[in-house]
Amino acid sequence: MKKRYVIADVFTDTPFVGNPVAVVLDAEGMSTGQMQQIAAEFGYSETTFVLPPEDRANTAHVRIFTPTREIPFAGHPNVGTAFVLASYATAKDETLPEVLLFEEAAGLVPVRLLKNNGTISGAELRVPELLSCRAEVSAGQVAACLSLEAECISTAVHQPLVASVGLPFLIVELASRDALRRCVPNLQGFRAGRCGVHLCLYPGYNAGGELRFAGEDVHATDDRRSGDRQRDGCGDGAAGFSSR
């Protein structure tokens, strides 16, 4: 079985910088198990698989996998996939619509291509769900998942809260930048199901803008830049690209 694939770096115009995504083209005929094995082999936070759309009015059916599981939606894989498809179309002198429509488990994801002097320079997407706030998690449970003391979790503005625009995340405010830098995901905590799968961490409004993202299925390390996490609470987001 031979399949084409492209590795695209999102949120950058420089190769090997930004947030990488592997885009597997012509994925028709592949089983879920095969897709999961390939995603694990790439080892990126996400790998996408492009399939024919179920509705011909749409551009493609896109499945997204982390190294350990399939997820219903993610930010930078969508914009990276759009860039790759648009680049291939340009190389073949084909025309794609300005807005690509991707069928995904979370719903339909419109991705608008951005051009600079006729050249594709980025994309912006509309999330498939309105922002929803779900369950709260105790500060003690979150601290245990992050190898921190309970007092490092700030609850002055909100409790640790699960929110989603298509993929649920646990949003956690930390008491300081020091806590943000010291936190180390505790895999036993994640596997016990105490904190969910992904966490979006930030050091409070007065500490300046800085985010970290962590989870068991991204090897308990930071997802260097992330689209849907930063868009929780917003309607859309944009990104630039570099392909390898």
What is the Cα–Cα distance from 19 to 226, expressed in whole angstroms?
7
Q: So what's the pLDDT on residue 198?
A: 67
Q: So what's the pLDDT on residue 216?
A: 56
159: closest CA among 150, 167, 168?
A: 150
Q: So what's the pLDDT on residue 9?
A: 93
Q: So what's the pLDDT on residue 220?
A: 35
Q: What angle do CA 182, 208, 129 make, to 5 degrees?
A: 90
Residue ranges of the chain with per-residue pLDDT less than 50 = 218-224, 227, 229-240
Q: So what's the pLDDT on residue 109?
A: 98
Q: So what's the pLDDT on residue 118?
A: 85
Q: So what's the pLDDT on residue 230?
A: 43
Q: So what's the pLDDT on residue 81?
A: 97
Active site residue 28: no
Q: Tokens at residue 185, please?
A: 């995901």
pLDDT in tens, 105-151: 999 999 999 998 888 888 999 999 999 999 898 998 888 888 899 99
Q: So what's the pLDDT on residue 193?
A: 56
6: closest CA among 75, 88, 74?
A: 88
Task: Yes or no: say if 197 and 190 are a contact pair by the CB < 8 Å rule.
Answer: yes
Query: 28, 46, 98, 149: which one is catalytic?
Result: 46
pTM: 0.84
